Chains A and B, each alone.
Chain A
Amino acid sequence: MRARFPLLGLASAAGLLALTGCVPNAGTSGASHASLTVDSSATACAVSAAEAPAGSVRFTVTNSGDQVTEFYLLAEDGLRIVGEAENIGPGLSRNLVVQLAAGHYFTACKPGMTGDGIGKADFTVTESDAAPNL
């Protein structure tokens, strides 16, 4: 019987996450989030806009290089990870969805998955009505 409890725990954890961890996908009607694209190549990390309104922000990261890449959204100190998209193989697009409060952030890509990353750029989140209390 004891073995049932981890199962129960996992099931309820999954249930909780289903309630709290889900965010609307792109193209959903009435979705109030900003959608940005990122092109991660061998030499650049081009984000389609350098700012977005506070709330749910989606980065669709496309890897146009030939190494596996990662995309990072870093906090104002440039160290703390606010969001990260991993395992973006060449030719793939992966999504990173984060709830952002107004403030200063950095975006960066990490082709080859090592080093400090390339194309580190400022990213600003502006106040908005849809801003969550973070």
Chain B
Amino acid sequence: MLANYLIGLREGLEAALIVTILVAYVVKIDRRDVLRRIWLGVGLAVVLALVIGAALTFGTYGLSFAARETIGGVLSIAATGLVTWMVFWMLRTARDLSGHLRGSIDRSLLGAGVGLVVVAFVAVGREGIETALFIWAAVQATGETTMPLIGAALGILSAVGLGWLVYSGMLRINLAKFFTWTGGILIVVAAGVLSYGVHDLQEAGVLPGLNSLAFNVSAAIPPDSWFGTLLKGTLNFSPVTTWLELVVWTGYTAICLSLFIRASRNGGRVRSAPRPVEPATEPVAEPVR
């Protein structure tokens, strides 16, 4: 039961962390009205993953190994891009907020309307299908034993619970600190997702170098231990890391962190050119960026 619990926890942690930061941010800038979009993205991802997982488990057709790896790799790279976008979008709205440019925030949020749904959707959906297949496998086993299903469900619930704890902590710290910390955390999380995607593509044989290892610390950090689970679940830390993964991780982190630090010193001015002043209009249904 403990082993299945840890799988559930690991699969849920990363999504819980990203969604938590997103929700905490929106609440902190006092825009609870856009929370609906975040939950829409989360809900869509959960339902879609469970339905696809059930169809593949109980239906006429399953998923081939190559297709599974491709979905994993592509969604990981998409997730990295979206989380990166989210970090710099948060910076931009923070600048608007500090300048009391209320209308500008509204425009940013309006433009991010679809963006927020997509970030929440991909954050949850990335490991969603794999998690759903795991859950349905546990359901299939209930004829013999319900322990795997109970363990997996408790694991996912724990991930959500931890997300809630982090959320309450985040509400207490001030906005400036919140940006520095969440921005940094999100960049490291995104770097982990990217290197995970690289690993998927290396396993699929799309990228070379699966067996040239930069380090192997699985003796010190066993992947089935509780701390190995936490490291894997939050930062996507793999105790066995290839050179290509390490290079991609380091490159991404170095570039994005320095851009992030520079941008936050400039008061969040990510774009050098000021955006053209738009005439003040009523919010339109069609999001425009």
Chain A: residues with CB nearer than 8 A to chain B? 1-4, 6-7, 10, 13-14, 17, 20-25, 28, 56, 58, 66-68, 79-84, 86-99, 112-115
Judging by beta carbons under 8 Å apart, are A23 and B222 in contact? no
Inter-subunit contact A22/B64 (CB<8 Å): yes
By Cβ-Cβ distance, the 9 closest A-B pairs, closest first, are A21-B67, A89-B4, A22-B61, A3-B114, A83-B65, A114-B218, A113-B223, A91-B148, A92-B137
A-facing residues in B220-239 (Cβ within 8 Å): 222-224, 239
Interface residue stretch chosen among B163-171, B203-211, B274-282: B203-211
* Chain B interface helix/strand/loop/mixed: helix
Q: Which of B70-78, B101-109, B185-193, B263-271 contacts A (4 or more CB under 8 A)?
A: B70-78
Given the complex of chains A and B, what is the CA–CA distance between A50 and B253 in angstroms? Answer: 46
The answer to whether B7 touches A91 (Cβ under 8 A) is: no
The interface residues of chain A, by DSSP majority, are classed as mixed
**Given A22-B64, A79-B211, are A89 and B152 also a contact pair (CB < 8 Å)?**
yes
B287 touches A3 (CB 8 A): yes
Known: A7-B114, A89-B3, A114-B218. A23 touches B137 (CB 8 A): no
Give chain B's interface residue range (CB within 8 Å of chain A): 35 or more
- B47 interface contact, C-beta 8 A: no
B219 → A minimal CB distance (Å): 8
Once A1-B289, A13-B74 are accepted as A-B contacts, the answer to whether A89 and B218 lie under 8 Å apart by CB is no
**Inter-chain contacts of A6 with B (CB < 8 A):** 78, 81-82, 118
**B140 CB-CB contact with A under 8 Å:** yes
Q: B63 contacts A89, CB within 8 Å?
A: no
A97 touches B63 (CB 8 A): yes
Residue in B11, B113, B137 whose beta carbon sits within 8 Å of that of A94 in the complex:
B137
* Interchain pairs with CB closer than 8 A, number: 136
User: Considering the chains assembled together, what is the distance between the CA atoms of A14 and B68 in angstroms?
Assistant: 11
Given A68-B3, A89-B4, the answer on whether A28 and B218 have CB atoms closer than 8 Å is no
Q: Does B154 contact A (CB under 8 A)?
A: no
- Which residues of B lie under 8 Å from residue A25 when comparing CB positions? 59-62
Q: Are B61 and A89 in contact (CB under 8 A)?
A: no
Closest to B74 in A: A13
CA distance A1 to B287 in the complex (A): 7
CB of B51 to closest CB in A, whole Å: 13
- Shortest CB-to-CB span from A30 to chain B, Å, is 11
A46 to B92, CA, bound (A): 57
B260 interfacial contact with A, CB 8 Å? no
The answer to whether B224 and A112 touch across the interface, beta carbons within 8 angstroms, is yes
Inside 8 A of B4's CB, which chain A residues have their CB?
A: 68, 89-92
